[in-house]
Structure 1
Amino acid sequence: MPDDYHDENQLIIGEAAVHLAMNNTDITVDSLTRELTEMAAAEENPARCAQIRGARRWLRGFESLPGNRDELRWVTGAGHGSTH
C-alpha cells in the first residue's frame, strides 16, 4: 500500500478522534468506527466518502487484535502513552 493511502487513513481517523475527544467520548476502535460511519453518511463528496469508508475498513482490522478492541494506545498531549 502506498504511503499516501496510509497517511490519508491516519488523517481521517485523526479527524474522528478529535471530534470524539471534543465531545468527551472515549476513543476506542468501536467509537472511531461509529464516528467514521457517521462522517461517511454526512459526506456529500463521493470521493471523500470513499476515503472515509477506506479508513473505516482499515481500522476494523484492529477489532480482532487482543488489547485493541477496547482502546487504542494514543499518545497524550503530555507525551506519555497509555500503560494498558
Structure 2
Amino acid sequence: MLRKAVSRYAYSAGYLYALAQPDAQRHEINGEAVEPVSEHDRINARQSFLLVQKKRQERRQEREEQAPGSDQAERIGNMSSP
C-alpha cells in the first residue's frame, strides 16, 4: 500500500514538474533541503513529465471523441420522428 502511494506521488505531474526545475532540491523527510537534484535526474523528470502530459492529452481527446455530442442528439431526434 505504501509503495503504491509513493509511486503515485513520484510519478505525478506536479512532482515531476518540480523535480525538472533548474533550482530543484532534494529534501529530507523533515522538509530540509539537502542537495540539488542532479542534471541527469532533472532531464529524466522532464521527459517523464512530458510523457505524462502527452498521455493526459490523448485521454482527453478520446473522451471528447466518445462524449455525447451533436451526433447522438441527431440520432435521438431522428428516433422521435414518425
Tell me: higher relative CO, structure 1 or 2? Use CA pairs within 8 A at least 6 residues apart. Answer: 1
Q: TM-score, normalised by structure 2?
A: 0.38
The structure that has the greater radius of gyration is: 2
Higher fraction of helix: 2
Q: Name whichever structure is richer in strand by fraction.
A: 2
Superposition TM-score, scaled by structure 1 size = 0.38
